Amino acid sequence: MQSRIILASQSPRRKELLAGLGLSFIVKVSAVDEDQATRDASTLTPAELAQRLSALKAEAVAAHLSEGIVIGADTIVVLGEEILGKPMDANDAEGMLRKLSGKTHLVISGVTVIDAQTKEQKSIYELTEVDFKEITDEEMAAYLVKANYLDKAGSYAVQEHGALFVKGIRGCFFNVVGLPLFKTAELLQVFDVKIL
């Protein structure tokens, strides 16, 4: 029998992406203080951090379960040495977008899967390069009024108004949206989840 799958994420994007694979699953979320965890993990590389945060989210949910396959994920935007998470407010968002303007950055998502019964746990990450156009002052002002950016790493969503700034990407598109489907599917197969 196929194990029950639990998505440990409040992100509507991750829910939609996973549902697109035809999997049936339930959503369960447990609180993780991502900001504190990021501060605690200052020696990690960005890829390690994304994986660590995804693991904390999956572990927080798996801790309350005796069976099931739990999936946690985390997405960060990395510009040079700087990690950009979600903005605190419009000012913060504007600052992030000014930094990203005209440059290429990385989007890294970590994904962790845990078998709640055996406690087997595995993490992967995926990395996508994203090229931004130069954002004009007029575009910036309109964007901050119209776009939904507060719950998005880097203050943009490539699948929404952020598309107007994204000239090109190299790598997995779904990774930028929040769940790298190819690598997530490979990982789920390690846990004997049948997709096809």
List of residues contacting ligand TTP (CB under 6 A): 9-11, 13-14, 29, 34, 57, 73-75, 77, 86, 107, 151-154, 156-159, 162, 176-178
Could you confirm whether 137 is annotated as catalytic?
A: no
**Which of 74, 89, 137, 192 does the annotation list as catalytic?**
74
- Euclidean distance between the first and the last CA atom of the chain, given in angstroms as a whole number: 15
Smallest distance, Å, CB 139 to ligand TTP?
A: 17
Which residue, 68 or 178, is less far from ligand TTP as judged by CB? 178
**CA dist., res. 133 & res. 90, Å (int):** 20
Smallest distance, Å, CB 1 to ligand TTP?
A: 27
**CA dist., res. 155 & res. 29, Å (int):** 23
Which residue, 112 or 193, is less far from ligand TTP as judged by CB? 112
Q: Residue 7, by phi and psi: left (phi above 0), alpha (psi -120 to 50) or beta?
A: beta
Q: Where are the beta strands (DSSP E) in the chain?
A: 5-7, 26-27, 69-79, 82-84, 104-115, 121-132, 166-170
Smallest distance, Å, CB 51 to ligand TTP?
A: 12
Instruction: Find all residues with CB under 8 Å of 12, minimum gap 6, and list them.
Output: none
Residue type, 66: S
Smallest distance, Å, CB 163 to ligand TTP?
A: 9
Active site residue ranges? 74
